[in-house]
Amino acid sequence: MRLNIIGIAIIWLYTAVALATDAVSVSVKGRIIASPCIFNGGNSSVNVNLGNMQAKNMATPASSSTPVPFSLNFTQCPAATQSVTVSLTGTADPVAGTHYYRNSGTATNIALGIIETGTGNLKGPGSRMTQNIGDDRTATMNLQAITYSATGGVTPGTISVAVVATLEYN
């Protein structure tokens, strides 16, 4: 009889444990994002050669160089990708202002500007540009690089500016 009572007690404990359980909700979230295009033929950098400029042509305040065209090219974009947004970051020039990038080369009193060709707008640090993907699954952002001296008196030396472009596919 004692074994029956112990057996019933064990069954009752099992039932009590089963009655004490809680239902738990598991929430799973995610996001499907647009697939990337091929940027610049698979090369992750764009090099723009400004060529040689005469210091005497940048001697006066607010002088600038001839714009040098370059492009950001996107090819083989997947059908689900409708546009690409490029966000630019870099160090703003403290003298020329927030629309220009600071030169880290040896030439002094000179900054770099990036111009969006279609609008003529300067695209300094923090700027964003969006381009729709064409029916041929490509997109091109036409830009120009220009040097600018707010103060004039540019000294000879090198021009070296690093601009990071972050690509977002939509």
Cα separation, 47 vs 135, in Å, equals 28
pLDDT band with cut points at 50, 70 and 90 for residue 28 = confident
Residue 95 has pLDDT above 90, yes or no: yes
| Mean pLDDT across the chain | 88
Is the model more confident about 41 or about 156?
A: 156
Dihedral sign from CA coordinates of 73, 75, 81, 82: positive
Across residues 39-47, what is the average pLDDT? Answer: 88
Give 113-128 as a DSSP string: EEEETTT--B--TT-E
Across residues 57-76, what is the average pLDDT? Answer: 96
Distances (CA, A) of 4 to 1, 8, 13: 5, 6, 14
**In the chain, domain spans:** 38-169
Is the model more confident about 85 or about 17?
A: 85
Q: Which residue has the tokens 């689900």?
A: 80
Residue 44 has pLDDT above 90, yes or no: no
Residue 19 has pLDDT above 70, yes or no: no
Task: Give the CATH architecture of domain 38-169.
Answer: Sandwich (2.60)
What are 90's strand-pairing partners?
Answer: none
Across residues 154-166, what is the average pLDDT? Answer: 95
The pTM score is 0.78
